[in-house]
Each structure stands twice: as C-alpha cells, then as structure tokens.
Amino acid sequence: MYKVKCGMIQIFKSDLVDLLRDHETLPCDLSIEEDANDLIYVKGATVISPDDFTSEDGVDQLIRIFNRGVDNRIMRSTDINETSSRSHLLFSIRVEKYKKDTGKLDRIGKLTFIDLAGSERTAKIGFDEELYEEGLFINESL
C-alpha cells in the first residue's frame, strides 16, 4: 500500500508562505524541521493527499493539487515579463510504502520540484519601490 502527501510553499522575500492553505484559515507560523526519518519538511504547512494515487486518475489528482498552489503564488507584471514570479517555489511529493502483511512503514521517497525566481536587474524591470525590494530579496537568496 502507498500513501502520497503533497505540500507547496513559496519563499517570498524572507518569508515561507503555504500555497495550499485554504484562504478561510488563518496563516500559521511555518518553520523548517527534520522528521524522525531525517527528511526535511516545513512544519505547519498544509499537506494534501490524493485520494488514491495508484488509481487511474492519480496523476490528475497531483496536477490539481499543483495547480491549486500555483494559483496562490505571488506574481507581478514587470517591464520585461507580464507574469513574473516574485518568489521561489517548492512542491514536494512524499511517497510512503507500507508492507502488505504488517501495515508497517517500509520505505519513504521524497521528490521536491523547485522553481527559482530569476535574478533581476532593476533597470530592465522598471523601477518601483516594491519591485526593487522584491528583486533584492530574490537576488540575495539565489
């Protein structure tokens, strides 16, 4: 048996932002932690599990989860890019395999997709105080 867990965060300026959180729930403090299996995770982040990843529409479920997070990502228009990502994005998929006979956890795999915001030159993106500040954080974190 397999269990799949997905999470998506962005690093905006120097803040961690949960992109899968329901808008009705209050944001919580997020922190980077290590679990008992030595895997890094973001404590407090929303985790969504597809109903049955091994089913025929399992991949479609993952895509819907991914798109939900991307829809919440901070994007802005600049002089050189109509939809410029203003943050780094991390989308993690954790797969847990359980033994059929005992139901105990057998193996864990984790895959993290990362989309880094590109470095920016203020002269090319158009000067705006907020864009300038975001650009400084983006360039510093790269």
SS3 16: strand
| Average pLDDT in the chain | 81
DSSP 24-55: TSPP---EEEE-TTS-EEEET---B--S-TTS
Contact between residue 115 and residue 103 where contact means Cβ atoms under 8 Å apart: no
Give me the CATH number covering residue 104: 3.40.850.10
Residue 63: which domain range? 2-141
78-91 per-position pLDDT tens digit: 655 566 567 789 99
- Determine the pLDDT at residue 30: 92
- Determine the pLDDT at residue 140: 67
Tell which wins on pLDDT, 126 or 98.
98
Evaluate if pTM is beyond 0.85. Answer: no
Minimal CA–CA distance to 62: which of 73, 51, 75? 51
Residue 53 neighbours by CB distance under 10 Å: 18
Residue 45, class by beta-carbon neighbours within 10 Å (0-12 exposed, 13-18 middle, 19+ buried)? buried
- Domains held by the chain: number: 1
- Determine the pLDDT at residue 72: 86
Tokens of 127: 């000067």
Q: Which residues pair with 84 in a beta bridge?
A: 76
Q: Could you give the count of Cα atoms lying within 13 Å of 50 in the half-sphere of its Cβ?
A: 23
